[in-house]
Structure 1
Amino acid sequence: MKISLQYSGNYSKLLSSEIHHKIQTIHHLMATRSGTGADYLGWVDWPHSIHLESLREIQETADKICEQSNVLIVIGIGGSYIGSKAMLEALSTNFESSHPVEIIFAGHLVNGSYLKRLMHYLDSKEVTVNVVSKSGTTTEPAIAFHFLRNYMENRYGEEASSRIIVTTDENEGTLRSLAIEKGYKRFVIPHNIGGRYSVLTAVGLLPLAVAGYDIHQLINGAKSAAEEYSKLDLEKNPAIQYAVIRKHLYDSGYPVEILSTFESQLKYVQEWWKQLFAESEGKAGKGIFPTSVLYSTDLHSLGQYIQDGQRIVFETCLLIEKVQEDLTFVETKQNMDQLNYLNEVSLHEFNHICYKAASLAHLQGGVPQIAITIEQIDEEHLGHLFYFFMMACAYSAYLLDINPFDQPGVEEYKMNIFKFLKKPAYSYNRQLQTK
């Protein structure tokens, strides 16, 4: 299993002695856990360090949820929810759910109408809640959990404690303290893994297991990626290649990257990718702005800007070699729809031709092109792909001399919320800082 990466330019010409030296330095700092943000490099070895007992505990909990509930509410925001959502959407079908339990997300927005309607919907269901937050104080999920915990306690009484699961820090935090007091089942977000790099921990694994997918295969895919992308090889390691190309294009006046795909079930993988790269790189006035498009739909809207707009964009297309289901054209005698020229062409083949046509047009219009290809969409390949992007993102941020693992800008807006709402701890802390 391996990711294929293609670039429209001459990659070999990018490999200057300076780039070689920078990549070697980054590789050494990550391997020795001695670089900026090294306290949050736990994800690097995670696929190999996670214990089978931990996977067994997650699966047993998922089985229990499936026995007692037909709805699981996952409360979280940012990395505490988007990775789970991405995996579930990528693996599920569009119209028929084979999931033993319906999975609904909350806490990723603050919307009274949404929460009120959700609780009304739950009245006819059997419910389990999984709240995901390292600290337990992140405002949006804390608000959602406030209302949903009250709902669960009012509805189930003492039984609510067996229907609420907490995924949080091992040693500290408001949510951990509440879980101990109430007797909630707990899973750990490792202290050395940040939220947007936590998709392969219990944060993502528990909802995936509840949906009936194979979490062992997901980890196996990530293991193969960890082995492949830990190698210091600028010519053959696609994670390093992707980071080097991105840095070159950024330095060449292309500060915007568009991740495109023809696979609609990868929409939330794109959303996860945007959070990963935006929060990891967008600091100190630097960083590539990540955005996304879904083709062919967006070829008839944003495609115009990509083709003829400002030359500030480069495009990375995420391609899938094989699909599980497809349709193939068969010619008709009358040819009234004038589509007989598509005889024996499958829709997946059509999309690949559409990709080549769009890529060529955009390239001719001055848009540099990258293609990332995986064989198929399943648990193993998805785990591999997630790890690939995380490793490439770390290299990309380090090439910009950026700490990939903090998010000071996000913290700033949170402080402003506390200020406007006159949160007591915020006012007290601010008073201390001014003395």
Structure 2
Amino acid sequence: MLYRQTIRWARAAELALAIDAGRERAQEALDALRRQRDDDRRPYLCLPARTDDLPAIEARAEAIRASGVGDVVVLGTGGSSLGTRALLALDGPTLGASSGLRVHVPDNLGATLMDAVLRDLDPARTHFIAVSKSGGTAETVAQTLTAFEAVSAALGPTRAAQAFTLVSEPGGSPLRRLAGQWGVATLDHDPDLGGRYSVMSVVGALPALLAGFDIAALRRGAGRVVDQALAPGADPAHVPAAEAAVLGHVAGEAAGAAIAVLLAYDDRLAPFTRWWAQLWAESLGKRGLGSTPVAALGPVDQHSQLQLYLDGPGDKLISLVKPVTAGTGPRVAPALTAGAGEGRLDYLSGRTIGDLVDAEADATAEALVRRGRPVRVLTIDRVDAETLGALMMHFMLETVITAHLIAVDPFDQPAVEEGKQLTRAALRGTGDALAAAVPAGLVSDLGVSAT
């Protein structure tokens, strides 16, 4: 098994009728998903079985490698970068050593960060991959324009064009038009594939291949989840993504669980939890519905958040991702623990770091269950590309099934458009558009002087 899901909740028995009703609706979702896959209507469901798109991606990756660069910078944000970060983090700081390339993802736009990218990297040995489905994402456009200008100033426009690749949907978007004028190589982003569902496409595949990541294994893991979930006659009670969606829905409706926590017990999975948070929030937060995602990392967040989960409001559904780590990592020498005083560190004597993390994850889950919290544990045997693909597809399916249960569209994000419009208005004018948009009422504007 790539992963095993265990759900424990003291109130599950008393809510059996609601859970059964949720499973009936989850069955509708699975049937719809099966039809969409079979009709090739949802690219994220079909990508795991595809190989026809890989030659073009691999060819572009090889061309970038052949150019002799040492650094690759991915310019993008949100769905154009979070999945890539999750892939690149998989093997920790050694990922990419086999290819000799360092891949950077400065996805949180900031003046100092962009200054650092343009100041610290050698333009003659750096390749930039700009990723924007729409081709008009303000942050990515700004990154691309400033980077292209800097490289052009250093190397000239012809060599600058060779130092860029654009991934965007076909059409007349600003970045597509500019790429055409500059002579920049362009790869198509599937117009029917939303950014937050695009990690297994060229969006994640191109930078990940450059870092030596196994995209075929990623897709293979995802395919196993799709095949199991969408098999003819699949029972939602035996489909992990469907059962988790039902639990979350019932916990929200009957127990007021308005917060979903994903607590991963491995540093390599921290970016994965951030990818999940965007997937969950942007897909489900509509019309006053949805639950707030919290990305957490264990064991460190046991020392920052666990007190709240255990003894604060009972408004959370808590999911743990627990790699099996027992017996791994450095071992604590018994001779050293003996010096701390008799019995004080006996529990660590001869134990590995992995033993401690494993025990902490199990103990955290047990403590939460004893406090009556709904708890789901996803146990994984290995942290590798195939397992990550399975987890990513699991959460895509869980998100889409949850959307069916609460009757929202998981593929749009209508509310964020207002902020984009106000941003453009503020930059085009003097900021009056923002002030005019503030509703009448209490406005507090306070500060502390430095003098």
TM (norm. structure 2) is 0.86
Q: Which residue of 2 aligns with 1:406?
A: 412
Contact 1:274–1:290 at 8 Å: present in 2 too? yes
* Cα offset, 1:91, TM superposition: 2.4
Q: Which residue of 1 aligns with 2:296?
A: 293
* AA in 1 matched with 2:385: E
Q: Which residue of 2 aligns with 1:74?
A: 74
Q: Structure 1 259/334 Cα, relative in aligned 2: closer, same or farther at 3 Å?
A: closer
**Structure 1 Cα separation of the partners of residues 382 and 65 of structure 2:** 28
Q: Structure 1 414/40 Cα, relative in aligned 2: closer, same or farther at 3 Å?
A: farther
Contact 1:75–1:131 at 8 Å: present in 2 too? yes
* Cα offset, 1:255, TM superposition: 0.6
* Cα offset, 1:417, TM superposition: 0.9
Aligned: 1:101 with 2:101: yes
* Cα offset, 1:344, TM superposition: 3.4
* AA in 2 matched with 1:379: A
Identical pairs, percent: 25
Aligned: 1:319 with 2:318: no
| SS of equivalent to 2:208 | helix
* Cα offset, 1:374, TM superposition: 2.0
* Cα offset, 1:406, TM superposition: 0.4
Q: Which residue of 2 aligns with 1:58?
A: 57
Q: Which residue of 1 aligns with 2:355?
A: 349
Query: Structure 1 residues 344-353 or 383-392, which shifts more?
Result: 344-353
Query: Structure 1 residues 343-352 or 300-309, which shifts more?
Result: 343-352
* Cα offset, 1:28, TM superposition: 2.8
Residues 376-396 of structure 1 show CA distances to partners (whole Å, capped at 9, x for unaligned) of 111111112111111111101
Q: Structure 1 14/259 Cα, relative in aligned 2: closer, same or farther at 3 Å?
A: farther
Aligned: 1:415 with 2:417: no
Aligned: 1:233 with 2:262: no
**Structure 1 Cα separation of the partners of residues 258 and 284 of structure 2:** 12
Q: Structure 1 325/211 Cα, relative in aligned 2: closer, same or farther at 3 Å?
A: farther
Contact 2:328–2:353 at 8 Å: present in 1 too? no
Residues 107-156 of structure 1 show CA distances to partners (whole Å, capped at 9, x for unaligned) of x3332222122211013761101000012211111111110011122222
Q: Which residue of 2 aligns with 1:242?
A: 244
* Cα offset, 1:321, TM superposition: 2.3
**Structure 1 Cα separation of the partners of residues 62 and 133 of structure 2:** 24
**Structure 2 Cα separation of the partners of residues 213 and 109 of structure 1:** 23
1:30-429 aligned at under 5 Å gives the runs 30-33=33-36, 41-51=42-52, 54-67=53-66, 68-93=68-93, 100-106=100-106, 108-123=107-122, 126-157=125-156, 158-231=158-231, 232-251=234-253, 252-321=255-324, 326-332=329-335, 335-337=338-340, 338-422=344-428
Task: Structure 1 unaligned segments of length 5 or more: list them.
Answer: 428-435
**Structure 1 Cα separation of the partners of residues 202 and 72 of structure 2:** 15
Task: Indicate the RMSD between aligned Cα atoms, in angstroms.
Answer: 2.5
**Structure 1 Cα separation of the partners of residues 426 and 183 of structure 2:** 34
**Structure 1 Cα separation of the partners of residues 334 and 217 of structure 2:** 41
Residues 215-243 of structure 1 show CA distances to partners (whole Å, capped at 9, x for unaligned) of 22222222222212223322211011111
* AA in 2 matched with 1:354: E
* Cα offset, 1:97, TM superposition: 5.3
Q: Structure 1 325/151 Cα, relative in aligned 2: closer, same or farther at 3 Å?
A: farther
Q: Structure 1 333/191 Cα, relative in aligned 2: closer, same or farther at 3 Å?
A: closer
* Cα offset, 1:267, TM superposition: 0.8
| SS of equivalent to 2:73 | strand
**Structure 2 Cα separation of the partners of residues 250 and 360 of structure 1:** 21
**Structure 2 Cα separation of the partners of residues 294 and 319 of structure 1:** 11
Q: Which residue of 1 aligns with 2:437?
A: none
Q: Which residue of 2 aligns with 1:6?
A: 6
Q: Structure 1 420/19 Cα, relative in aligned 2: closer, same or farther at 3 Å?
A: same
**Structure 1 Cα separation of the partners of residues 96 and 85 of structure 2:** 17
Contact 1:179–1:186 at 8 Å: present in 2 too? yes
* Cα offset, 1:50, TM superposition: 4.2
**Structure 2 Cα separation of the partners of residues 41 and 172 of structure 1:** 24
Residues 334-385 of structure 1 show CA distances to partners (whole Å, capped at 9, x for unaligned) of 7113434323322222112111222222222232211112221111111121
* Cα offset, 1:88, TM superposition: 0.6
Query: Structure 1 residues 354-363 or 251-260, which shifts more?
Result: 354-363
* AA in 2 matched with 1:345: R
Residues 133-188 of structure 1 show CA distances to partners (whole Å, capped at 9, x for unaligned) of 01221111111111001112222221222221011103442222222332222222
Q: Structure 1 335/209 Cα, relative in aligned 2: closer, same or farther at 3 Å?
A: same
Task: Structure 2 unaligned segments of length 5 or more: list them.
Answer: 434-451
Residues 404-426 of structure 1 show CA distances to partners (whole Å, capped at 9, x for unaligned) of 00011221211111222238xxx
Q: Structure 1 324/276 Cα, relative in aligned 2: closer, same or farther at 3 Å?
A: farther
Q: Which residue of 2 aligns with 1:430?
A: none
* AA in 2 matched with 1:308: D
* AA in 2 matched with 1:153: S
**Structure 2 Cα separation of the partners of residues 262 and 125 of structure 1:** 39
**Structure 1 Cα separation of the partners of residues 40 and 62 of structure 2:** 34
Contact 2:321–2:379 at 8 Å: present in 1 too? yes
**Structure 2 Cα separation of the partners of residues 261 and 85 of structure 1:** 15
Q: Structure 1 328/303 Cα, relative in aligned 2: closer, same or farther at 3 Å?
A: same
* Cα offset, 1:313, TM superposition: 1.4
